Amino acid sequence: MKKDRKLAIITARGGSKRIPRKNIKEFCGKPIIAYSIQAALRAGVFDTVMVSTDDEEIAGIAGQYGAEVPFFRDAKTSDDHSTTSDVLREVLAAYEERGENYDIVCCLYPTAPFVTAEKLGNAVECLADSDADVLIPVVAFSYPIQRSMVIEEGRLVFRHPEYLDSRSQDLETHYHDAGQFYVFRTESFLRSGRVIAGNILPLTVSELEVQDIDNMTDWKLAEMKYRLIAERGGGI
């Protein structure tokens, strides 16, 4: 039986706006992208770990930490309007032109310091052993969304008033994308044109291991979480 070939793609363009040079900014002692690269390499499940970038400095740091940068992004996939799917299609097409094809791909973000080798290895193995198209890490909403409110004409309105008298523990748990990585089958992605599509497997992670990093307050919170996990012996 043919063994699936697996590729890790770390997407890291140079033009971050809200936090300049975000993808290589120092995070708890080293460039934040280094955490993603090292987790992917240490997972031991990928045939290739590469960084997709348009930036010479990012490429240099990626190489220092062991990732491949076999080509640079096209200008079309380096602007503010390009999507993750655009970047992934470009990378897969470039490898195909070189005669290299991959069956399973992990799209890993460069600002995901809570991702570990163990998580990546488990995620890839879980998808490979299933009939699913994609696996994504998810985290539970910290507050029941059934009790969410909206503001209409200056007044608060409950979106789901039927749940006002329900106990929190009786309400169904809802989840959202952790924004860390996606593991998917290449065939499914190319067919649908979307990463999150088809039969989707969840990998649940704790709120402590998730942090959107869009501004410097987010950055400091992420560092605090990272240090707390390290102090608890979390293995990051």
pLDDT in tens, 4-23: 999 999 999 987 878 999 99
Q: Which of 35, 82, 90, 89 is nearest to 62 (CA)?
A: 35
Give pTM, 2 decimals: 0.93
Tell me how far apart the alpha carbons of residues 212 and 221 are, in angstroms, rounded to a whole number: 9
Give all domains of the chain, ordered by start, each with its CATH number: 6-139+176-231 (3.90.550.10)
3-class state of residue 30 by DSSP: strand
pLDDT in tens, 175-225: 999 999 999 999 999 999 999 999 999 999 999 999 999 999 999 999 999
29, 83, 182, 214, 218 from 80: Cα distances, Å: 29, 8, 21, 15, 21
Chain centroid offset of residue 210 CA? 10
